[in-house]
Structures are given as C-alpha cells and as structure tokens.
Amino acid sequence: MPQGAQSTKDRDRLMASLARDHERLGDCVCALDVVLGESEHDVRGFDEALGVLSDEVNKHFRKEEDWMRRIAYPSADVHKDQHTVLVGTLDDFRRSYRNNPSRSNAYVIRCFIDDWLVNHMEEADKAIEDFAEARESGLRLAP
C-alpha cells in the first residue's frame, strides 16, 4: 500500500476514535442531565457523574494532544492551553459543588460544561481536522 494511503487510513482511524470520544463526552453531559432530571436532587449522583466526565475529558485530551504532536499542528500550544483551562475549571467546579451541592449550582456547572465542549469541538477541534486533511492532501500531491 502506498505510504499516502496508509497515512490517510491511520488519520481516518484516529479521527473516528476522537469522534467516538466526542460522542462519549456528549453522553457524559446527558448523564448530568439525567441526575438533574430526578425529582429529588441526587448530590452524590451528580458528583459521581462529574467525576466520570472529568476522567473522560482527561483521556480524550491526552489522545488529541498526541495527535496534534504527530501531525505537527501549528496551533497545538494554544489548543493545549484551552484543554488545561477546562481541566482546571472542572477541578474548581468539583470543589465548588462539594462546598455547595445545590441543584442550582449543579445546573450552572452542567450548562458551562456543555457550552464549552460544544464550542470547543465545533471550532478548535474542527480546525485540527481541517489541518490534518489539508496536510495529507498536500503530502499526496507532493512529487
């Protein structure tokens, strides 16, 4: 198999894996909604769902950062900074929620996370995909 075809296959496989991660993160936000939809606020359930989301976010960010390094993505540092901010914010939220485990605090946290993730995936993550695709088209066209 020509090298360009192999790298396209690798890229497609990795992009599919990252897309599955994004779906999983969406499922984690839905899990927060499920807890918030219960008639009696489940303090422990929300904290646990936040912990699962935080673990998934950390795993996904490591994978995505490795991909940026492998393709020499030029805005990798800025992108990694965005990841670092979210990871720190999630830690702050978990502390804040343990100090004030109210339904309204949980709702604010859930809305922030959902907005942040959707915005990040649609803009910053999409920019990496576009770069990877353009880079490979360039590699295929190179003599």
Q: Residue numbers of the site for Fe ion (CB under 5 A)?
A: 64, 125
Q: What is the closest distance, in whole angstroms, from the C-beta atom of residue 23 to Fe ion in the complex?
A: 11
Output 62 or 98, the one with its CB closest to Fe ion. Answer: 62
C-alpha closest to that of 119 among 18, 15, 22: 22
Distance CA 48, CA 54 (A): 10
DSSP state of 75: T
In this structure, are residues 73 and 131 in contact, taking their beta carbons and an 8 Å threshold?
yes
Output 24 or 103, the one with its CB closest to Fe ion. Answer: 24
Nearest residue to Fe ion, scored by beta-carbon proximity: 125
Q: What is the closest distance, in whole angstroms, from the C-beta atom of residue 94 to Fe ion in the complex?
A: 20
Output 22 or 41, the one with its CB closest to Fe ion. Answer: 22
Q: What is the closest distance, in whole angstroms, from the C-beta atom of residue 33 to Fe ion in the complex?
A: 20
N- to C-terminal Cα separation, the chain: 17
